[in-house]
A = this chain, B = another copy of it.
Amino acid sequence: MRFTSEQRLDDGVVERGFTLGEVPGILWTPGSASAPAPLILLGHPGGLHRMYPRLAARARHTVAEGFAAATIELPGSGDRPRLATVDEARADLQRALAAGAPVDGEIVDRLVLPLVEKAVPEWRAALDALLALPGIGGPVGYAGGVIAIGVRLAVVEPRISAAVLFAGSYVPRSMFEEARQVTIPLLVLLQWDDEGNDRQMALDLFDAFGSREKTLHANMGGHTGVPGFEGDDGSRFFARHLR
Q: A192-B216, A203-B203, A214-B220 are in contact. List 13 more A-B contacts (CB 8 A).
A: A192-B206, A206-B218, A211-B220, A212-B220, A213-B227, A214-B219, A215-B217, A215-B219, A215-B220, A215-B227, A216-B218, A216-B219, A218-B218
CB 8 Å contact bits of A191-221 with B (1 = contact, 0 = none):
0100000000001001100011111111110
- B residues less than 8 Å from A212 (CB atoms): 220
Q: Looking at the complex, which one of B192, B229, B233 makes contact with A207 (CB distance below 8 Å)? A: B192
C-alpha gap A229/B217 in the complex (Å)? 13
Q: Return A238 CB to nearest CB of chain B, in Å.
A: 12
Query: B206 to A213, Cβ gap below 8 A?
Result: no
Assess whether A229 is in contact with B236, with CB atoms less than 8 Å apart.
Answer: yes
Q: Shortest beta-carbon distance, A207 to chain B, in Å?
A: 7
Considering only CB atoms and an 8 Å cut-off, how many residues of chain A contact the other chain? 20
Closest residue of B by beta carbon distance from A209: B220
Instruction: For A218, list chain B residues within 8 Å (CB).
Output: 206, 215-216, 218
Is A243 close to B, CB under 8 A? no
Q: Is A50 an interface residue (CB 8 A)?
A: no
Pick the most buried of A207, A219, A220, A236: most chain B CB atoms within 10 A of its CB: A220
Residues of B contacting A236 in the complex (Cβ-Cβ under 8 angstroms): 229, 232
Chain A contact surface mostly: mixed
> Which residue of the partner chain B has the closest CB to A190?
B216
Of A192, A203, A211, A218, the most chain B CB neighbours within 10 A belong to: A218
For A240, give its contact among B203, B207, B211, B229 (CB under 8 Å).
B229
- 8 closest pairs, A vs B, by CB? A216-B218, A215-B219, A217-B217, A214-B220, A215-B217, A212-B220, A213-B220, A215-B218
Query: How long is the Cα–Cα vector from A227 to B227 in the complex, in angstroms?
Result: 22
User: Given the complex, which residues of B lie within 8 Å of A219, measured CB to CB?
Assistant: 214-216
Binary contact readout A223-235 vs B (1 if CB under 8 angstroms, 0 otherwise): 0000101001100
Q: Name the residue on B nearest A221 (C-beta).
A: B212
Closest partner residue, chain B, to A186 (CB atom): B220
CB-CB < 8 A to A211: which residues of B?
220
For residue A154, give the distance in angstroms from its CB to the closest CB of chain B.
Answer: 16
List, in ascending order, chain B residues with CB within 8 A of A216's CB.
Answer: 192, 216-219
Cα(A216)–Cα(B206), bound, Å: 13
